[in-house]
Structure 1
Amino acid sequence: MKSMMRLFLVLAFNALMLLEAYGFTDESDRQALLEFKSQVSEGKRNALSSWNNSFPLCSWKGVRCGRKHKRVTLLDLNGLQLGGLISPSIGNLSFLISLNLSDNSFGGTIPREVGNLFRLHYLDMSLNYLGGGIPASLSNCSRLLYLDLDSNHLGESIPSELVSLTKLINLYLGHNNLKGKLPVSLGNLTSLKNLDLANNNIEGGLPDSVARLTHMVYLELSTNNFSGVFPPAIYNVSSLEFLNVFMSGFSGTLRPDFGNLLPRLQMLYMGNNYFTGAIPTTLPNISSLQELGMEFNSLTGSIPPSFGKVQNLQMLTLNDNFFGSQSFGDLDFLDALTNCTQLHNLDVNKNRLRGDLPASIVNLSTTLTSLSLDTNIISGSIPHEIGNLKNLQELWLERNLLTGPLPSSLGKLLELKKLSLYSNRLSGEIPSSIGNITLLETLYLFNNSLEGIVPPSLGNCSYLLQLRIERNKLSGTIPREIMQIKTLVTLGLEHNSFTATLPNEVGGLEFLVTLSVANNKLSGKLPETLGSCLSMEILYLHNNSFVGVIPDIRRLVSVREISLEENSLSGSIPGYLANFSKLQRLNLSDNNFEGRVPREGIFQNATIVSVFGNRNLCGGIKELKLKPCFAQAPAMETRHSSHLKKVVIGVSVGIALLLFLVIASVSLWLRKRKKNHHINNLTSSTLGAFHEKISYGDLRNATDGFSSSNLIGSGSFGTVFKALLPTENKIVAVKVLNLQRHGAMKSFMAECESLKDIRHRNLVKLLTACSSVDFQGNEFRALIYEFMPNGSLDMWLHPEEIEEIRRPSRTLTLLERLNIAVDVASVLDYLHVHCHEPIAHCDLKPSNVLLDDDLTAHVSDFGLARLLLKFDQESFFNQLSSAGVRGTIGYAAPEYGMGGQPSIHGDVYSFGVLVLEMFTGKRPTNELFEGSFTLHSYTKSALPERVLDIADKSILHSGLRIGFPVVECLKVIFDVGLRCCEESPMNRLATSEAAKELISIRERFFKTRRTTRR
């Protein structure tokens, strides 16, 4: 009987289990996914359109079910451009083994209910916008093997509970602004092979328990705020193949037995830290080593010649240290490196290496593309067979003590783009064979003792941007062939002995920014074509024997310095020079100029203008100390009737004009009164959208009387102050409108009207507004926004242009720039497509993109925004953007310049320019760009072969792992930017497509980064 009862219970239990698997719980999975979908924004792709009752659950897009039952075991929604929030219902998928939500735009937090997925092996939520920290409940997923939360905005510290995931093999938490210290028991993750914590703000050091991670292969710690000596625990992880502590904050000396303790290393990056002492002599014992970076430290001693035993070595960067004993054995390592047949990058510049340059460098690997030995104490001559290094693209030997001639074999370096030999003691002639290097872009030979003529063959270098051969002993004429290199930006020929005239062909150099032929023996008249060099900023022609008048250069409005002193120029000083607003220095001294010196514009400032040594000049301001000019009195009219006639006509005209002015004034007063009444009505209705307002007195107190110490920026229509609102204990940004500026009131209304009903995570939130009067009874308008602590994108892209105290502490990485571009594209897509009515921003540029704590981008300044619909109240916003208001020069779409109406296509153009600026580091108004040569054409001309030449160099020095496919990534990014700023509006990408492509780039290349490390 008991056995029958047992059998019955077993059968009943099995039946219940089957019912659970095939019956009710299938419905629970369906409901969980539908609840998940309800909080997701799908965009235009409608990627989850199959998620409905018309399709079987297990055929829904991204859904896979188990074979033995119909429960959901895999959910893969990678790269579907989904947004919104991740619903807690995800935790009800209790049979889930793999969950992939990466490369989307999910915001909010990671639901703690994910911790209910106790069967989960694989979890990937990377490349999203998740915040709120890492939930401790993930520790309940005890079977987890793979956890990737890379590239979000999680913040906070790593919860100590995660160390209970003892089966975890891959843990990727990079690019998250994580804070605090690492869990003490990190070493409990004994199965871990790959750990990525790059680009966070983790403090302290590595816990000693890391020594137990004996299976670790990949350890990425770059760009953090660690402190203390190089972590001793790492020495115990002998399985390491990849170790990156670039810019991590470590210090101290390295153990002498370093190489014996970590024998499997292939990639080792230790640059930008505070390491001291010598390179461990055992380091070259690591026979598997391929790339070694120890740049920007304080290392001393010699560079071990035993690196020559590391036959797989491809990159060795030891620059910006203190290597060298200043003896004649410092360069022995160069002989040894000839055994490294795969070497492609060798950089030991800015050290203290002394000795003759060994002839053996010509036997270095033929795969070598970059050789940097500059800024040392290297003597001797450049070996004659330097041309053996046939794949060399960059050769840097400047600021040494090199002597002798330039080898003619330099002409065999057909791949060379940058050749820098300045500030040595080189002599002899410039070999004509250099003209064979047709890809050359930079040629620096200045500050040597070169002599003879400049070879006309240099004209073959049609890509040359920088040619500086000043301060040598060169003679002869300036070759006309040089003046036919259309790409030239800098031409430095001063302090030589050139004769004859300045060639007329100089006028063809439309991109030339700096021209210096000073201190030569040039003569004749200045070429009339000089006025065609529209990009010119620096013009040095002094100390020659030029004669005649100054040619017409009125179109050189960007010029900053003109130096013509110590010549024999004559004629009068052109009056148009007074209007050169950018001019900081004009030296016309010691010539033969005559006539009156203007008193307007720049001529009002004696610190800018110098005219002494011209005996026939007169007038000008008193500080110039010139003699006065005596004007001849006008002849008197002899006929009284003629004089009387003129008086009568004059009086009549005067009365007519006075009458006209009275009528016009009354008309304008009536119109202004009506207009003000209309605007006041609109102001009242628009500001009603805000729940609270603030008084002038409150804002005055919050900004310490609008003190300059609280000033954080200014724009076309107002000034922005940082303020503390005591009622909420909140820091805000207050934009005070300058109502004296034409269009300021309309800008205020446009911003209020545009922002009152829209919400997006990448918009700067307008908190409230102030429409009041100040203590003198004047109208006062202000807008109060949430405060962005990391300032504008503009200050991150161009830190050299701002005050030292406000500069960012570092540069933006490639991924951070890509994230910002995605943020901006996402918000434009929202404004153009997903708002209640389409909105065109009309003034998108880096200064209007603000960055919060996590470097998330927020678009601001809607003072020129346009609602793209008929506006009831007398088309107020159609009146707002008058013909002159179309955004900012360089960023505004070309159709705006021809009177075109604002449109979403104009925003796309501005976004394309912004993308190109972000990744080239060049403003569209850079001195390079004039006429038909724009940022667009500059970028397009470099693709696809020369992408690294136009890329912002700070990207390549911001913690990016060597070996990452930078070139491929940048090619695709630049392509998106170019397609956005096409000339024709109809040919431009839609913002949704631009966002899609940028997200795809992020997935493709930064996913590659993670794939290659596993």
Structure 2
Amino acid sequence: MMVKASTIGRPAPVKAAVWQGIMEMKLLPQILFIISALSFKASKAACSTETDRQSLLDFKNSVSLDPHEALASWNDTVHFCKWEGVSCHNAKHPLRVTAMNLANKGLHGHISPSLGNLTLLTALNLRSLKFLILGNNSLQGRIPNELTNYTSLRIVDLSWNQLVGEIPFEVASLSELTSLDLSRNNLTGGIPSSISNISNLRELIAKENQLEGRIPHELGHLHLLTFLALGRNKLSGPIPQSIFNLSSLEIVSLESNYLSMPYLPSDLGNTLHNLQRLYLDYNNFRGSIPPSLSNATHLVDLDLSSNSFAGHVPTTLGTLRKPSWLNLEYNNIIAKDKQSWMFIDALANCSSLNVLALFQNQLKGELPSSVGNLSSQLQYLLLGQNELAGHVPSSIGNLQGLTSLGLDSNNFDGTILDISDNHLNGSMPVDLFGLPSLISFNLSYNYFHGILPLEVGNANELMEEEIPSSLRNLKSLKTLNISRNNLSGPIPGFLANLQSLQQLDLSYNNLQGEIPRNGVFRNATALTLDGNRNLCGGVPEVSYVDLAKATDNFSPSNLIGKGAHGSVYKGFIGHLNEIVAVKVFNLETKGAQNSFVVECQALRSVRHRNPVSVLTACSSIDSMGNEFKAIVYEFMHSGNLDMFLHSQEYKEHFPDPAHLSLTHRVNIAIDVANALNYLHNSLQPPIVHCDLKPNNILLDDDMDAHVGDFGLARLHNDGTSSSIGGSTSSIGLKGTTGYVAPEYAIGGHISTAGDVYSFGILLLEMITGKRPTDKMFMEGMSIVTFVQKNFPDQIMQIIDVNLQYDDNALHKITKARKHECLLSMLDMGLVCTQQCPKERPDMREVARKLHRTRVAYLEDVDYCLS
């Protein structure tokens, strides 16, 4: 499935003018601009005389030409209230700037944003201003009618603020305006029809507000308009015919509204022949897709998804010069015979096609073999949840750039393998293993037989010289699932050399011989081989002697952590050639024996990359004849999350710790969410971790996160819970103070919602840098109420200082994305920490939203796929 993040940018020339500043702009000619009417409030402005002085100096430094030396007096020889053009006339604050008048001074340069810190400024002469760029600030209140008095304005950008109220009808008086950007605010009401009087307007951008009502047909009078972006509002009714007659339009973005039409105009491509991007997704359009769209020969992106379009995909789309994005999913589009499938043949002419999405339509019959003739640049081919049947064509192997192939929930059968849970049989065709960018491959629940072909290695490059040449392409594959078929013969040794392979499921086949010991085969939790009775070898055995030798007899110098039930040591096991972490259970401690059983049984069922990887376990007798139990984990070289979030507490051991960037924190949150989603939703019965906290989030060399310490884990089934070791309990769960769900404190049953609460606390801690047990949280204040009190307007005052230090170096757009990402993360943390368990989201939903957050705000792309 695909969802567009809709981060449409300006055309490059305008963007450059806006964000680089208009360096030769004449700033301060004639008449006074009464700022008091402009009720914006810069929330970050400091209230001090020193701030005023520095703000004035910043303004001076932004002036590139001062022909009359109007700013010559602006120095430390006199108080700034006596500087030319500066007035300080506030009775309560006599030394604060209230007005600036530098009219007719011939100043050139750009406006310093520091003027926003002059919080008592009531008058500023900017009468002939041509560019008003105030995007990505914290401006509040309504757009003042007085703004429309500045008739010289050509570009107005008030995007990414917190403006409310309606768009002033008087905006029509800005007759010189060429670009109006009001996007990403909280504006309400309708779109004023008076905008149609701004005859020079080329860009009208008001997406992501709360605008409602109909799109005024008068907008069709804007004959120079090239960019119309009104998406993600509450607009309803049809698109006026006059809009379809605007031949100047290049970008039309009306997605995610309540727009509806029984059909789009049949001549749409003839009238909008300059169209480059058309986004009508998430509305209620019906009818067929106009074949005339092929006459919009510059069309690159076409998104009609999540509507009710019917009929066939026009073959004329194949005549487009360079379409990249064709998203038609979630409609009623039909293909059932050779004629209606001809669009696949036609699209083979589109050499730039990157995305073809027809998920959940009414596609029937066999998928034509011509699908293999589609663009070599195709990355996403999404045809799931249709009624496709017959063979999956081996020609798909020709799609060298494919990274995501969605054919799920169809009725495929025959001899060609593709996806899980179909009726595929026969031997595996080697053609399909020629996909060099393949990352995930699931062939489970089919009827394949024969020996696993060597050509499976063609899915990307290996570095080992002894690997046959046909296997030198498998470097991207991360998951391989060929379970529940009839494969025979030995496990090919090259699988152990696939360095990216993280999950391997070969269960329930007829494989035989020795199990390889290297690579993915070293990790018991990454490997599933059940149901192959003729395999031997496997998980390595270690003794007490091996572990004592590996840890230098459990030397304190190798101690890397202590918990309630034992200690963790770093060691090196020679015959495994592996650095490991050995968790030795203190069996004299109450609950330690059960904790060992719980953790072993929990991890035995886990087959996922984000829970910590278990190599083996040891139950033996130590050198003194006492019972000995230990679990051996893959060693995590980067330590745990707590060490990074609270590095000042670890200075003794890490005097110069690295700081986690926002991107690192989002990625770690996603890893943890993926792990919990797997534990809660992919296992039967689900596993509840019960002790999620930063100490139990381990980080590997790549800073990927792995959830560890399952010693308190519980099975959850039918509203009840039990420890995996067998004893049932809903009371007495220890957990860790600050992270435990509130219902547990009053004897509530253990549930997956408890983990969701702990994850929410973890998110808030990751963004604020404060533990939930911080001394400041007392007398009714908690980390949750602390964030609630400052959300959303004051969040920059509470985020971790290590996330703030580089803000000044960030580009404005990057800072805006960062701010939105922080908002999204904190919002998710608050949602997860709802007091009532039933109000908390499922971890599947949490993981999905975090993925979207990463794509929308932290990746340099315009769209996200999910």
Decide: shared fold, TM above 0.5. Answer: yes
C-alpha displacement of 1:406: 4.6
Three-state SS of the structure 2 residue aligned to 1:584 is strand
Q: In structure 2, what is the equivalent of residue 687 of structure 1?
A: none
Which one of 204, 222, 228 corresponds to residue 213 of structure 1? Answer: 222
Q: In structure 1, what is the equivalent of residue 62 of structure 2?
A: 62
Q: 1:478 to 1:605 in 2, by over 3 A?
A: farther
C-alpha displacement of 1:309: 2.3
Residue 295 in structure 1 maps to residue 305 in structure 2: yes
Q: In structure 1, what is the equivalent of residue 200 of structure 2?
A: 191
The letter of the residue matching 2:203 is N
For the Cα contact (< 8 Å) 1:517–1:541, is it kept in 2? no
Identity %: 25
Q: In structure 1, what is the equivalent of residue 726 of structure 2?
A: 603
Q: In structure 2, what is the equivalent of residue 305 of structure 1?
A: 315
Cα deviation per residue 1:82-122 (whole Å; 9 max; x = unaligned)? Answer: xxxx97636765778988558889579998856x6331111
Q: 1:564 to 1:401 in 2, by over 3 A?
A: closer
Which one of 578, 584, 591 corresponds to residue 715 of structure 2? Answer: 584
Three-state SS of the structure 2 residue aligned to 1:132 is strand
CA distance in 2, matches of 1:551, 1:364: 54
CA distance in 1, matches of 2:54, 2:791: 40
C-alpha displacement of 1:540: 5.5
Any gaps of 5 or more consecutive residues in structure 2?
Answer: 1-27, 72-95, 463-473, 543-575, 582-598, 608-615, 620-629, 635-674, 686-707, 731-752, 762-770, 809-817, 834-843
Q: 1:333 to 1:362 in 2, by over 3 A?
A: same
Q: How does 1:765-780 map to 2 (within 5 A)?
A: none
Residue 139 in structure 1 maps to residue 148 in structure 2: yes
CA distance in 1, matches of 2:684, 2:165: 61
Q: How does 1:429-508 map to 2 (within 5 A)?
A: 429-431=427-429, 439-455=437-453, 458=456, 460=462, 461-500=474-513, 502-505=515-518
Q: In structure 1, what is the equivalent of residue 556 of structure 2?
A: none
Three-state SS of the structure 2 residue aligned to 1:215 is coil
Which one of 170, 173, 180 corresponds to residue 171 of structure 1? Answer: 180
The letter of the residue matching 1:355 is G
Three-state SS of the structure 2 residue aligned to 1:282 is helix
Q: In structure 2, what is the equivalent of residue 689 of structure 1?
A: none
Q: How does 1:194-593 map to 2 (within 5 A)?
A: 194-257=203-266, 258-324=268-334, 326-406=336-416, 421-431=419-429, 439-455=437-453, 458=456, 460=462, 461-500=474-513, 502-505=515-518, 509-510=522-523, 513=525, 515-522=527-534, 527-528=539-540, 539=604, 554-555=631-632, 580-584=711-715
C-alpha displacement of 1:152: 1.8
CA distance in 2, matches of 1:121, 1:163: 16
Three-state SS of the structure 2 residue aligned to 1:334 is helix
CA distance in 2, matches of 1:348, 1:153: 37
C-alpha displacement of 1:421: 3.2
Q: 1:488 to 1:578 in 2, by over 3 A?
A: closer
Which one of 121, 144, 149 corresponds to residue 158 of structure 2? Answer: 149
For the Cα contact (< 8 Å) 1:101–1:124, is it kept in 2? no
For the Cα contact (< 8 Å) 1:823–1:856, is it kept in 2? no
Cα deviation per residue 1:711-733 (whole Å; 9 max; x = unaligned)? Answer: 999989x99xxxxxxxxxxxxxx
CA distance in 1, matches of 2:249, 2:29: 45
Q: 1:490 to 1:820 in 2, by over 3 A?
A: farther
For the Cα contact (< 8 Å) 1:290–1:315, is it kept in 2? yes
C-alpha displacement of 1:578: 13
CA distance in 2, matches of 1:852, 1:107: 28
C-alpha displacement of 1:243: 0.5
The letter of the residue matching 2:860 is V
Q: In structure 1, what is the equivalent of residue 586 of structure 2?
A: none
CA distance in 1, matches of 2:299, 2:806: 51
CA distance in 1, matches of 2:606, 2:131: 69
Q: How many residues align?
A: 594
Q: 1:281 to 1:321 in 2, by over 3 A?
A: same
CA distance in 1, matches of 2:46, 2:863: 28
The letter of the residue matching 1:315 is W
C-alpha displacement of 1:538: 6.3
Q: In structure 2, what is the equivalent of residue 788 of structure 1?
A: 788
For the Cα contact (< 8 Å) 1:133–1:155, is it kept in 2? yes
Q: In structure 2, what is the equivalent of residue 909 of structure 1?
A: none
The letter of the residue matching 1:824 is I
CA distance in 2, matches of 1:832, 1:263: 43
C-alpha displacement of 1:141: 0.2
Cα deviation per residue 1:450-492 (whole Å; 9 max; x = unaligned)? Answer: 2212245646424322111123222223334324435433322
CA distance in 1, matches of 2:263, 2:518: 59
Cα deviation per residue 1:311-330 (whole Å; 9 max; x = unaligned)? Answer: 33222111222211544533
Q: CA RMSD in A?
A: 5.8
C-alpha displacement of 1:211: 2.1
Cα deviation per residue 1:826-847 (whole Å; 9 max; x = unaligned)? Answer: 79659999xxxxxxxxxxx99x
Three-state SS of the structure 1 residue aligned to 2:326 is strand
Q: In structure 2, what is the equivalent of residue 766 of structure 1?
A: none
CA distance in 2, matches of 1:144, 1:62: 20
Cα deviation per residue 1:533-555 (whole Å; 9 max; x = unaligned)? Answer: 9999664599xxxxxx9976845
For the Cα contact (< 8 Å) 2:364–2:387, is it kept in 1? yes
Q: 1:826 to 1:215 in 2, by over 3 A?
A: farther
For the Cα contact (< 8 Å) 1:139–1:161, is it kept in 2? yes
C-alpha displacement of 1:151: 1.5
Q: 1:332 to 1:423 in 2, by over 3 A?
A: farther
C-alpha displacement of 1:306: 1.5
The letter of the residue matching 1:161 is E
C-alpha displacement of 1:252: 3.1
Q: 1:105 to 1:219 in 2, by over 3 A?
A: farther
For the Cα contact (< 8 Å) 2:52–2:97, is it kept in 1? no
Q: In structure 1, what is the equivalent of residue 590 of structure 2?
A: none
C-alpha displacement of 1:583: 4.7
Q: 1:183 to 1:527 in 2, by over 3 A?
A: same
More relative contact order, 1 or 2 (CA 8 Å, 6+ apart): 2
C-alpha displacement of 1:224: 1.8
Q: In structure 1, what is the equivalent of residue 860 of structure 2?
A: 966
C-alpha displacement of 1:27: 15
Three-state SS of the structure 1 residue aligned to 2:140 is coil
Q: 1:172 to 1:712 in 2, by over 3 A?
A: farther
Any gaps of 5 or more consecutive residues in structure 1?
Answer: 1-23, 73-85, 408-419, 543-548, 566-576, 587-598, 608-710, 720-742, 753-768, 771-780, 793-815, 834-844, 862-920, 927-949, 971-1014
- TM-score of the aligned structures, taking structure 2 as reference length: 0.56
